[in-house]
Amino acid sequence: MENTNVKTTEAQSTSSIQFLTVTAIFVALTYVFTAFVNIRLPIAANGGLVHLGNVPLFIGAIIFGKKTGAIAGGVGMGLFDLLSGWTAWAPFTLVIVAIMGYAVGVITEKEEHQKFGWYALAIAVACVIKVVGYYIAEGFIYGNWVAPVTSIPGNLVQIGVAAVITLIVVGRLNVAAKKMGLKR
């Protein structure tokens, strides 16, 4: 009996270490792709940003699940806001993008949902969360409920570009993760 408990504890420890490692990598990737692969938009009221940080967020959520997606998105992009001078946005980003990552992970977590159509649906849901979430956040930050409309096109472009890239690569990455034993 004692040997079984030791094996269970070792398996749980290995699983926890793997989760922390994978999640930390996706936090870092989300931050880097947000901070260094971006275009600032001159049209948005807040000088909006189109970045590729959603690509690792979506990939992490689809392959490794809702917790990795939520943490990678919220922490990775929230950290970007803190370090880039957009500090007022950080709490909103933490919550909005964590919800996006969580939603993508929930929608795609079942084995039968590991298909292109489900991935596209999950990203579409994340897009709605982003547009609505940032509209509300911008309304609070600027005290104006009309100006946030100008940010919607940038958010749509940002998610649209991330969707195309993610949908092209995530199927193969998912297969590779399974073969390497990284996926449950």
Q: Which domains, from first to last, does the chain contain? A: 17-179 (1.10.1760.20)
Share of the chain above pLDDT 90, in %: 78
pLDDT in tens, 8-60: 677 677 789 999 999 999 999 999 999 998 887 766 555 567 899 999 999 99
Alpha-carbon dihedral angle through residues 157, 160, 161, 164, given to the nearest 10 degrees: -170
DSSP label of 39: E
Pair 37, 23: CB distance under 8 Å: no
Instruction: Determine the Cα–Cα distance for residues 24 and 183; give it in Å rounded to an integer.
Output: 16
pLDDT in tens, 65-94: 999 999 999 999 999 999 999 999 999 999
What's the whole-model pTM score?
0.91
- pLDDT at residue 133 in the model: 98
DSSP string, 80-106: HHHHHT-GGGHHHHHHHHHHHHHHHHH
Q: State the residue for tokens 């649209």.
A: 160
